[in-house]
């Protein structure tokens, strides 16, 4: 071997591995754009609320920060649903139940932080319990005065429910519309249970009148911005976790299950294990979204368990683009902003507008807003091909 070859070998070094985030976002331009926009929005909103004077047109009010924080929470919820529906092929009509359970876990922690600052001044019992003549705190409220315990419950309760439900349903090979109906029955049953005053969770009024979180005043601008930024961080992390799942070997099996479950089962895979894993992960993400939603909005009640809310989630994902992840985020923002606008300017027209939006997207954008570019290219190609055949 001559000297030139030796130097050439010495200079040759193994290729550097890309950072994990870059590998997860490789060949995902939509995800890169979405995450970049989320980071820019987080930076701008923080500056516009805390540093720009209130009389400036560039100032964002505390209400605006709260509203955007709510949209971000909904986007994380839609992302979790897209993981189940778009990649696993399970149409869950009760996904809002996991969101609500995470929200109630956070609400219980926030209620315990009120202490003697409530209307009745009881340091142990929340106001609604004093009003309903409770003599002591129910056993399942114990521990919620500790944030770490509450954070564990935010993850554990939705995850445990999803595990038990999924284990029974998937092992029984319940699929298709039957599984969708069962998930809807689950959230409806929970809604009826949480409406009861003797459940010890506030009945139809739910949990509200929160004061602070981790010692920070919830009415403070800095706290609102902190919660908003936390929501953005969790949404980005949720997106990266979802990408890691679908790009893994497990994700390829899950996609195959969506396309042909019987074939995957025939090959020898335990299909129910893969479905259960994704279902539980999505439920945990939904619970975290609910926990982020509650301190920003200031209330959680049984209406969130409503099957109508879960159906609305389906519309978010369908409008944004199922099976893309970032499409679910786009759909959540579009529908949530439209709801805010119509319910304020023209309340009676909101449901008609939502239905019309869903019908238009189904007819003209079957791949959702996220698939608009691909559909345009496909239509252009078909028109070119038709023109050539005609000539």
pLDDT at 235: 97
301 pLDDT higher than 90: yes
Q: Which of 317, 297, 291 is nearest to 155 (CA)?
A: 291
Average pLDDT over residues 238-252: 94
**91 near 289, Cβ under 8 Å?**
no
**310 near 93, Cβ under 8 Å?**
yes
Average pLDDT over residues 107-130: 90
- 156-310-149 Cα angle (round to 5): 20
Q: Give backbone dihedrals phi and psi of 142, rounded to 5 degrees, phi first.
A: -65, 135
**pTM confidence score:** 0.91
More confident residue, 233 or 117: 233
390 pLDDT higher than 60: no
C-alpha 201/C-alpha 292 separation (Å) is: 19
pLDDT at 389: 58
pLDDT at 9: 46
More confident residue, 381 or 177: 177
- What are 184's two structure tokens? 């809807």
pLDDT in tens, 137-160: 999 999 999 999 999 999 999 999
277 pLDDT higher than 90: yes
Tell me the H-state helices in the chain: 3-11, 20-24, 29-50, 62-82, 96-112, 127-131, 147-171, 176-194, 221-247, 249-259, 261-267, 271-297, 307-320, 326-345, 350-364, 372-390
Q: For the ranges 222-226, 269-273, 357-361, which has the lowest average pLDDT? A: 357-361
**Percent of the chain beyond pLDDT 70?**
92
Average pLDDT over residues 9-31: 73
pLDDT in tens, 329-338: 999 999 999 8
Average pLDDT over residues 201-221: 92
More confident residue, 255 or 23: 255
Average pLDDT over residues 286-297: 96
Q: For the ranges 57-66, 260-269, 374-383, which has the lowest average pLDDT? A: 374-383
Mean pLDDT over all residues of the chain?
89
- What are 25's two structure tokens? 């976002």
C-alpha 316/C-alpha 18 separation (Å) is: 33
Pairing of strands 207-208, 216-217: unpaired
Average pLDDT over residues 92-118: 93
Q: Which sequence spans correspond to the domains of the chain? A: 65-336
Those residues with Cβ within 8 angstroms of residue 141's Cβ, 6 or more apart along the chain or in another chain: 108, 112, 200
385 pLDDT higher than 80: no
22 pLDDT higher than 90: no
pLDDT at 2: 56
pLDDT at 13: 55
């Amino acid at each position: 071997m001559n000297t030139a070859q030796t130097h050439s070998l010495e200079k040759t070094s193994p290729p550097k591995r890309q950072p994990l985030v870059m590998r997860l976002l490789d060949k995902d331009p939509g995800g890169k754009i979405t995450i970049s926009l989320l980071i820019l929005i987080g930076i701008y909103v923080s500056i516009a609320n805390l540093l720009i004077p209130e009389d400036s047109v560039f100032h964002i009010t505390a209400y605006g920060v709260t509203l955007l924080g709510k949209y971000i929470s909904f986007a994380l919820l839609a992302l979790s649903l897209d993981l189940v529906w778009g990649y696993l092929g399970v149409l869950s009509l009760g996904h809002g139940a996991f969101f609500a359970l995470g929200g109630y876990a956070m609400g219980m922690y926030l209620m315990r932080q009120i202490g003697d600052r409530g209307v009745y001044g009881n340091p142990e019992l929340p106001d609604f319990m004093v009003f309903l003549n409770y003599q002591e705190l129910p056993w399942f409220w114990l521990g919620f005065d500790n944030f770490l315990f509450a954070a564990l419950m935010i993850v554990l309760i939705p995850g445990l429910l999803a595990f038990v439900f999924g284990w029974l349903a998937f092992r029984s090979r319940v699929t298709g519309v039957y599984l969708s109906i069962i998930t809807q029955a689950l959230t409806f049953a929970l809604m009826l249970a949480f409406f009861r005053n003797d459940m010890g969770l506030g009945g139809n009024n739910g949990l509200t009148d929160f004061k602070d979180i981790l010692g920070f005043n919830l009415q403070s601008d800095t706290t609102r911005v902190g919660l908003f930024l936390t929501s953005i961080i969790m949404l980005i992390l949720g997106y990266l976790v979802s990408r890691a799942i679908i790009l893994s070997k497990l994700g390829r099996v899950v996609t195959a299950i969506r396309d042909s479950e019987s074939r995957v089962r025939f090959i020898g895979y335990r299909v129910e294990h893969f479905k259960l894993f994704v279902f539980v992960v999505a439920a945990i993400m939904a619970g975290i979204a609910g926990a982020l939603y509650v301190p920003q909005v200031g209330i959680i009640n049984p209406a969130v368990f409503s099957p109508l809310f879960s159906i609305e989630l389906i519309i978010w994902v369908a409008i944004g683009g199922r099976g893309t992840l970032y499409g679910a985020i786009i759909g959540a923002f579009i529908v949530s902003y439209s709801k805010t606008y119509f319910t304020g300017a023209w309340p009676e027209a909101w449901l008609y507008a939502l239905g019309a939006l869903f019908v238009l997207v189904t007819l003209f954008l079957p791949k959702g807003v996220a698939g608009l570019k691909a559909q345009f290219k496909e239509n252009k190609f078909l028109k070119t091909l038709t023109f050539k055949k005609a000539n």
